[in-house]
Amino acid sequence: MEFQYILLAPVVLLVGIVIYFLKSKLESKQNQQTQQVIRSEEKKIQCQDQLIPISIYFGSQQGTAARFAKQLSEEGKEHGFITTEIDLNEVEFENEMKKGKVGIFCMATHGEGDPTDNAKKFISWLQEPQPSIIGFQFAVFGLGNRQYEHYNKIGKLTNNLLESQKGVRCYQYGEGDANSTLEDDFIDWKKDLWNELKISLKDLIDQAKNCQVQQEVQENPESTNDNTNTGSTFKLVVSNNEELNFDQALQGQYDFQTKQFLKAKYCQVVSISQLRQNQKDGSTLQIIFDTGREGIEYKTAMNLGVYPENDDQQILEIANYLGENLDTVYSLELLQQNNRAKLPFPSPLNVRKILKHFVDFNGQLMKNTLTKLSKISSNDEQLKNKLIQLTTEEGKAGFQDLVDNMKTTIFQLIKENNIKLNLAQFIELCPRISPRLFTIASSNLKNPQYVEIADSLLIDTLPNGTEKLGLCSQYFLNIQKKLLEGECVRVRVDFRESSFKLPDDPNKSIIMVGPGTGIAPFIGFLQEREIFLQNQPQRQNEYILYFGCKHQDGDFIYKDQLREFERSKTIDRFYTAFSRDQEQKCYVQDLLKRNSEELYNQILNDKVVIYICGSTNMGNSVQNLIKEILRKNGNWTEHEAEEKIQSMEKQKLLIKELW
Ligand SMILES: Cc1cc2nc3c(=O)[nH]c(=O)nc-3n(C[C@H](O)[C@H](O)[C@H](O)COP(=O)(O)OP(=O)(O)OC[C@H]3O[C@@H](n4cnc5c(N)ncnc54)[C@H](O)[C@@H]3O)c2cc1C
Ligand SMILES: Cc1cc2nc3c(=O)[nH]c(=O)nc-3n(C[C@H](O)[C@H](O)[C@H](O)COP(=O)(O)O)c2cc1C
């Protein structure tokens, strides 16, 4: 027995040595592999740092700037850049806007020369000294509208502040006018963008190229170089899961407008009725929402954002065309491994809801949509050429006819040209639905439970005589029918701050200029004054109202309520201009002009706050008239009058809400 042990001992020793040797070899190999992985990861990180990602930041209120940013992002990828469109509200400025980084900004101007809500933080940050910006490479495109006094103020400001803080502009500043040529201005501006960036960012690109080549040789010798990018961020997958409730959807992963939609709330519609005496010249609806039931609080003269839904009949037609069943439930999956990629809507959701809430297939066609459609129909050479031609200089008149006269929608274009596409492509092609804003026409003090708006329906008459209603106009008319049938209807809404607030100083008089639906905020102001006078009958100030419409027995909205305010002296002075009730046209400006001497003295002594609400044309004429009164009645120079207007705006003595 002992002899056996003596014989076995060397064998055991030998086996032990072999095991030890094998184990240490294995460990060494594993170590080597780990080291390789670490080195490769380090390399990747190093490489990613050297690649040139371009961030396309956007400041957008109603989605156009976000759309332009998305378009730039898609084009940038086609040019070999790593581009991502980014909501300015989601940015850590110091980390992202610094030397070695590149950012393109699409910046809309809103309010009266103000930043959009999602760009407010950024603009305040930029107005302070920011050392990180030194060496940050940037380019800016501004979105504005020449009808507004402060044309493209925010685009210009962004460009100037980045430059004055020693950022490096790598492409010229550009801006566009939403009143006429916005998309063409954008196309013109970006014509040389990518080629110029390839030159101005050459050093960074060369570094990135070297890095990529090494990476491919070391890690992927059989690389097929297949990095075709379709630009799509998601795919649709049929799902057996239950549909998602919007109120439970996570915030953050969705694109700009969808995020706003998810933050909004459902509110029940109490009633919809006609505000005009007759509908010869149009239709204005009084729409009342029950906010109390939802526990929503609001303030007088805020803006209400309404998220309109597409029409059921149209939804059915589109689903049929795309070969989809309205009840099929889809889930969305992100295709891009990019933590900033966004989904167009939450899921799982059925086709009906996807088309109802998230796909704007009625809005104005854009050239970019035609370009995308031409790619989808690339098998049909003739159609492809026709679509491309419409986007060129020669096709300009044809495109204008399609948009301005025919008001052609994306779906009409697809159907008329028999273009075959699937649901995902259709979603990708269409923008998201933008909320429509309305100035609240009720006071929270008088009606804490209800919110009221006055909606002047937008109806275009097409060359063939048929009428095309605006999306939200159609939506409210559909709801009106449902209410008449006894249905309970809820609308998704949100509330936004407005610059219309009554003066803190109770001794200040106010002049309210609000023709048409511009009267809305003043209904709220007057309801508030009614309550105030009940508690404190002694008057310290004057409420003066200027209202205008076409006919006093046609479109004089809130006629009875306003006459009652006049009778009860809630309005101290009430001036009305009925433009077509007599031969000589008469507008609110004409009435103001008649009172120019009084107005001049009130302005001179900073005794009044002037509020103007309604169309941009009317607002501009009223402001020009004020300037003229300053010049004529006080012998002010043009420059002095202009400066006074600006100082009144700054001191909130002249406040406008124009659309
Ligand atoms: C701050 C603010 C306050 C407002 N307050 C009020 C208010 O109190 N009351 C009020 O009535 N309105 C108000 N508005 C305007 C309102 O928000 C809407 O713009 C208006 O009601 C029209 O909405 P819609 O969806 O019916 O029309 P949309 O469908 O949005 O149509 C808008 C325009 O686009 C054009 N268009 C639409 N589709 C096409 C197409 N396929 N091709 C070419 N052109 C097309 C239309 O001709 C029209 O000129 C306000 C706007 C703002 C910004
Ligand atoms: C209520 C309102 C106020 C606006 N104010 C201005 C302005 O002061 N200056 C300007 O140049 N454009 C102004 N615009 C025009 C917008 O900048 C323009 O329509 C832009 O395309 C909107 O981009 P968005 O859809 O991304 O918000 C205003 C538009 C609206 C609806």
DSSP 547-583: EEES-TTTS-TTHHHHHHHHHTTSSSEEEEEETTSSS
Ligand of minimum distance to the alpha carbon of 399: 1
Q: Which atom of ligand 1 is nearest to the CA of 362?
A: 41
Expressed in angstroms and rounded, the spacing between residue 480 Cα and the centre of ligand 1 is: 18
Expressed in angstroms and rounded, the spacing between residue 215 Cα and the centre of ligand 1 is: 52
Q: Which atom of ligand 2 is nearest to the CA of 66?
A: 26
Expressed in angstroms and rounded, the spacing between residue 626 Cα and the centre of ligand 2 is: 23
Please tell me the predicted confidence (pLDDT) of residue 214: 44
- Residue among 339, 363, 530, 517 nearest 430 (CA): 363
| Rounded CA separation 442/452 (Å) | 5
Which residue of 109, 112, 304, 360 sits with most ligand 2 atoms within 8 Å of its CB, as the best mutation to test the pocket? 109
Please tell me the predicted confidence (pLDDT) of residue 15: 52
Name every protein residue with a CB atom under 6 angstroms from any ligand 1 atom.
Answer: 303, 308, 362-364, 403, 407, 409, 436-439, 453-456, 458, 460, 470-473, 517, 520, 657, 659
Which residue of 455, 468, 469, 478 sits with most ligand 1 atoms within 8 Å of its CB, as the best mutation to test the pocket? 455
Task: Give the mean pLDDT per block of 10 residues along the chain (659 residues).
Answer: 51 52 48 42 41 92 96 93 94 96 97 96 98 97 97 98 97 97 97 94 75 44 32 86 85 86 95 97 97 91 97 98 97 80 92 98 96 89 95 95 96 95 95 97 95 98 95 98 98 95 93 98 97 90 97 98 97 98 96 96 93 97 97 95 96 96
CA distances from 164 to 167, 169, 410, 635 (A): 7, 10, 43, 38
Please tell me the predicted confidence (pLDDT) of residue 207: 72
DSSP letter string, 299-366: -TT-EEEEE----HHHHHHHHHHHT--TT-EEEEEE-S--TT--BSS-SSEEHHHHHHHT---SS---
Which tokens go with 536? 């404190």
Expressed in angstroms and rounded, the spacing between residue 111 Cα and the centre of ligand 1 is: 16
In single-letter form, the type of residue at position 232 comes to S
For 547-582, letters b (16+ CB in 10 Å) and e give bbbbbeebbbbbbebbeebbeeebbeebbbbbbeee
Going by CA atoms, what residue is nearest to atom 4 of ligand 2?
110
Which tokens go with 141? 């495109």
Which residue is associated with the tokens 């460990």?
A: 27
Going by CA atoms, what residue is nearest to atom 45 of ligand 1?
364
* Dihedral angle sign, alpha carbons of residues 635, 637, 638, 644: negative
Name every protein residue with a CB atom under 6 angstroms from any ligand 2 atom.
Answer: 60-65, 108-113, 116, 143-145, 148, 150-153, 178, 182, 659
Number of C-beta neighbours around residue 160 at 10 A: 13
Going by CA atoms, what residue is nearest to atom 6 of ligand 2?
110
Please tell me the predicted confidence (pLDDT) of residue 219: 39
Expressed in angstroms and rounded, the spacing between residue 219 Cα and the centre of ligand 1 is: 55
Question: Whole-model pTM above 0.85?
Answer: yes
Going by CA atoms, what residue is nearest to atom 5 of ligand 2?
110
First and final C-alpha spacing in the chain: 106
Q: Which atom of ligand 1 is nearest to the CA of 456?
A: 11
In single-letter form, the type of residue at position 496 comes to R
Residues 596/629, Cβ–Cβ less than 8 Å: yes
